[in-house]
Amino acid sequence: MNIAILFGGSSFEHEISIVSAITMKKVLKKSNLIYIFVDSNREFYLIDTKTINSKLFSSGEYKKSKQLTLKKGGFFTEGMFGSKKIEFDVALNLVHGRDGEDGKIASLMEFFNISFISPRLEASALSYNKLYTKFLAESLGVKTVAYEHLSKNDERKISMEYPIIIKPVRLGSSIGVSIVRNESELDYALDVAFEFDTDVIIEPFIEGVREYNQAGSYTNVWELSIVEEPQKEEFLDFEKKYMDFSRDSQVLAADISDDLKVKIQESFKKIYDPLFKGSIIRCDFFVVDDEVFLNEINPIPGSMANYLFDDFEGMVHRLSKHLPSEQKITVNYDYIHSIQSAKGKV
């Protein structure tokens, strides 16, 4: 199977996307990979799969690669003898953060009729924004931890007891996230978060909370990963998560009861179906007193959370054959013709 890896983007998570994309070479070994890079200026480039490495991008050498044009049906190179289409069976959206997770890439793929694996527009909009994620989960009967929302120009007052955790609303990878243990630390933490976003979510910081990750997709049947219990840290900061994006070896399943595993998986299914069909996502959950709370949705997880699956590549191939498609709308101008006829015009 020919798989196009879309990566890069105009995002604070641009470099993480590059790491995730390069990792796919170790993961999708039976597939023919075509690398399509979106630079920070949102120009598309065809990157040589054999020579791809991180220095190619940090040095700017990628600009010597063939530039691509996005048109109806796919990506094209332009030359003296016209356009040449880049052939692939499906595109895998690996653009983390803005552009990839906010719905821009999904919209482009649908508009230009390109087969792609990624959350669609509505799912992207709801999972990219942590506040909207809260609304989605609550509407589906999935619990979330208590929260407050502050915008940049709001009065800096919170009613929640310390310690708290502050998160930019539209960022992942723990960028701009701070634990605040008392009121004297609040202003600095908010200043940091507002460097990256205009809005923040404030939640109670729960000492020693049990956290579990569940990934999966729906390929006409449920394909769920193992349930992972991540490292025991206060929270995974940017550096730890950055390293996490290059993981390509499977991890061990969490040592939990069957009952808790079922609760986590049922919560995952409620979030996924039907909004996230056509994608591979990871949901991060907290467990407090055996109750499951959604922490966040990772619509495009690092390295696609490949390390949580027994047969990740097979799942990608199966998912590519069960992607949602837009309704075909035929425009026949009957309404305009009827108006013209009523006016006696042909």
Q: What is the residue extent of each domain of the chain?
A: 2-118, 125-144+207-320, 148-204
Q: How far apart are the first and last CA of the chain?
A: 51
CA pair distance 130, 343, nearest whole angstrom: 53
pLDDT of residue 233: 60
pLDDT of residue 324: 94
Topology alike, domains 2-118 and 148-204: no
- What length is written for the chain? 346
Q: How many CA atoms lie within 13 A of 343 on its CB side?
A: 8
Q: What is the pTM of this model?
A: 0.88
CA pair distance 189, 168, nearest whole angstrom: 11
| pLDDT beneath 50: ranges in the chain | 242
Query: Domain 125-144+207-320: which CATH class?
Result: alpha beta
* Residue 162 φ/ψ, nearest 5 degrees: -80, 155
- The single residue listed with the structure tokens 């309404």 is 335
pLDDT of residue 173: 66
CA pair distance 149, 169, nearest whole angstrom: 9
Pick the closest to residue 118 from 100, 139, 134 (CA basis). 100
CA pair distance 346, 15, nearest whole angstrom: 59
Please report, as a single letter, which amino acid is at residue 275.
Answer: L
Pick the closest to residue 216 from 278, 131, 155 (CA basis). 278
Q: Are the C-beta atoms of residues 177 and 169 closer than 8 Å to each other?
A: no
pLDDT of residue 176: 84
Cβ contacts of 89 within 8 Å, gap of 6 or more: 1, 2, 3, 115, 320
CA pair distance 65, 58, nearest whole angstrom: 14
pLDDT tens-digit map of 136-156: 999 999 999 999 999 999 899
pLDDT of residue 171: 79
Other CB atoms within 10 Å distance of the CB of residue 322: 13
- The single residue listed with the structure tokens 């006409």 is 220
Query: Domain 2-118: which CATH class?
Result: alpha beta
pLDDT tens-digit map of 216-267: 999 999 999 999 998 766 555 555 554 555 566 678 899 999 999 999 999 9
CA pair distance 169, 146, nearest whole angstrom: 15
pLDDT of residue 82: 87
Considering the domain delimited by 148-204, tell me its CATH architecture.
2-Layer Sandwich (3.30)
Pick the closest to residue 209 from 291, 150, 94, 326 (CA basis). 291
